[in-house]
């Protein structure tokens, strides 16, 4: 963690999430919510609890990876940070300012500082726009005073920086391969010189051989312009290679945050331990997987207490009653587990 910094600006986290919750209604509009129960008309609402109380700090210059299985709310966190989704509760602070309640117009200065890279490069480029138009758009929006030549120079500069030829501008997105499209999408994000990039599974739709190229491109960009990443992934190998810190999510909650090396060498949370044991290793001829019982509970009816208690081998009565909060551990991480707090497990 960034404890060596001296000025308050540098030690302040770039992005802070405070108790973010997001519920999606399953019940449709008001009329559809009305139901007869026992002869009485009642309003019945059901929600998917995509994220329930996520607290995260992202420090300047780090690459925070968020991992977890499908449906645990990783992407919802990313979209909430970018303001694509308004949280049901909680606050998003960027560089000390609250941003989740700002209007589109008020957000504009922040848009320049934070950008996003999407999962599917086949859908993230407008099929009716040329690459040149796609890349010029953010620059013209955020620098309305720039001359045409300055905009064009900037476009060819970012195109070169992501390894695509500046001559390809007049082409359309569908003329490129997946890896090339993802480079273009990265170029679009970099075009406004952001300091913070949210990457929502940016390589999971690509071939393995291309994944490494794109990952290296992201790391080069980070070194060149001191970027901060919020990197959503479910690929633990990528995390080990890319992340400074890792946040593990389960059923809409963060169960453990730790520096990458610490997390991989000594996972504390029972879920993280199970997750780590599932990584296939070459030297494993007798794998020691931790087998979890049962299924992930539905996010519609959340379990009481710790969301993991139904599958946790160490769960006791307190776990079934009380929701664990993130507590700092001795090795620089945070973990949300009663058993770790009480010292029942290492």
Partner 1 sequence: MTTLTTRQTSRWERFRDSYLLYSFKRDLIAQVSLLVFILLVGAALLAPWLAPMNPYDLAQINILASELPPFWVDGSDPMYLMGTDAQGRDLLSTILYGLRVSLIIGFGAVAMQATLGVCFGLLAGYLGGRVDAFLMRLADIQLSFSTLMVAIIVGALFKAIFGGATFSDYAVPLLVLIIGLAEWPQYARTVRASVLAEKGKEYVDAARVMGLPSRRIMFRHILPNTLSPIFVISTVQVANAIISEAALSFLGLGMPETQPSLGSLIKSGFDYLQSGSWWITLIPGLVLVVLVLVINLLGDWLRDVLNPRLYKG
Interface with partner 1 by CB under 8 A: which residues?
29, 79, 82-84, 104-105, 107-108, 111-112, 115-116, 118-120, 123-129, 137-138, 141-142, 163-165, 167-168, 170-171, 175, 177, 179-180, 185, 188, 192
Q: Which two tokens stand for residue 192?
A: 């406004």
Q: Please, what is the Cα angle at 245 between 242 and 251, to 5 degrees? A: 105
**What are the CA-CA distances from residue 297 to residues 4, 215, 250, 254 (Å)?**
41, 33, 10, 16
140 vs 314, beta carbon nearer partner 1: 140
**What are the CA-CA distances from residue 182 to residues 52, 127, 174 (Å)?**
31, 14, 12
CB of 162 to partner 1, least distance (A): 11
CB of 111 to partner 1, least distance (A): 3
- The SS3 call for residue 280 is coil
84 vs 327, beta carbon nearer partner 1: 84
Residue 278 forms beta bridges with which residues?
none
117 vs 257, beta carbon nearer partner 1: 117
Query: Is the distance from CB of 65 to CB of 245 less than 8 angstroms?
Result: yes
145 vs 167, beta carbon nearer partner 1: 167
Q: Please, what is the Cα angle at 313 between 312 and 319, to 5 degrees? A: 55
Cα 342 vs. chain centroid, distance in angstroms? 30
7 vs 209, beta carbon nearer partner 1: 209
């Amino acid at each position: 963690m960034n404890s060596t910094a001296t000025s308050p600006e540098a030690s302040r986290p770039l992005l802070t999430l405070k108790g973010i919750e997001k519920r999606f209604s399953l019940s449709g509009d008001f009329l559809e919510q009305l139901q007869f129960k026992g002869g009485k008309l009642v309003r019945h609402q059901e929600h998917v609890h995509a994220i329930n109380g996520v607290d995260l700090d992202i420090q300047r210059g780090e690459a925070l990876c968020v991992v977890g299985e499908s449906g645990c709310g990783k992407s919802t966190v990313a979209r909430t940070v970018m303001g694509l989704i308004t949280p049901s509760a909680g606050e998003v602070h960027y560089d000390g300012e609250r941003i989740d309640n700002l209007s589109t117009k008020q957000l504009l200065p922040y848009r320049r500082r934070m950008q996003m890279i999407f999962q599917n490069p086949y859908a993230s480029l407008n099929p009716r726009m040329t690459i040149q138009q796609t890349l010029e758009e953010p620059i013209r929006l955020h620098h309305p005073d720039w001359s045409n030549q300055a905009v064009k120079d900037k476009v060819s500069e970012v195109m070169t920086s992501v390894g695509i030829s500046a001559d390809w501008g007049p082409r359309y997105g569908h003329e490129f391969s997946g890896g090339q499209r993802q480079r273009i999408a990265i170029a679009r994000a970099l075009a406004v010189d952001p300091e913070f990039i949210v990457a929502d599974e940016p390589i999971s739709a690509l071939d393995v051989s291309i994944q490494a190229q794109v990952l290296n491109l992201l790391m080069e960009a980070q070194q060149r312009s001191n970027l901060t990443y919020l990197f959503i992934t479910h690929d633990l190998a990528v995390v080990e290679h890319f992340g400074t810190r890792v946040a593990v999510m389960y059923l809409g909650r963060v169960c453990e945050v730790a520096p990458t090396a610490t997390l991989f060498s000594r996972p504390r949370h029972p879920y993280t331990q199970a997750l780590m044991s599932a990584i296939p290793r070459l030297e494993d001829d007798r794998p020691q997987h931790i087998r979890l019982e049962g299924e992930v509970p539905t996010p519609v009816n959340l379990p009481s207490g710790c969301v993991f208690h139904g599958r946790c081998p160490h769960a006791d009565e307190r776990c079934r009653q009380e929701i664990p909060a993130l507590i700092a551990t001795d090795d620089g991480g945070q973990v949300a587990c009663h058993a770790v707090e009480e010292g029942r497990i290492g």
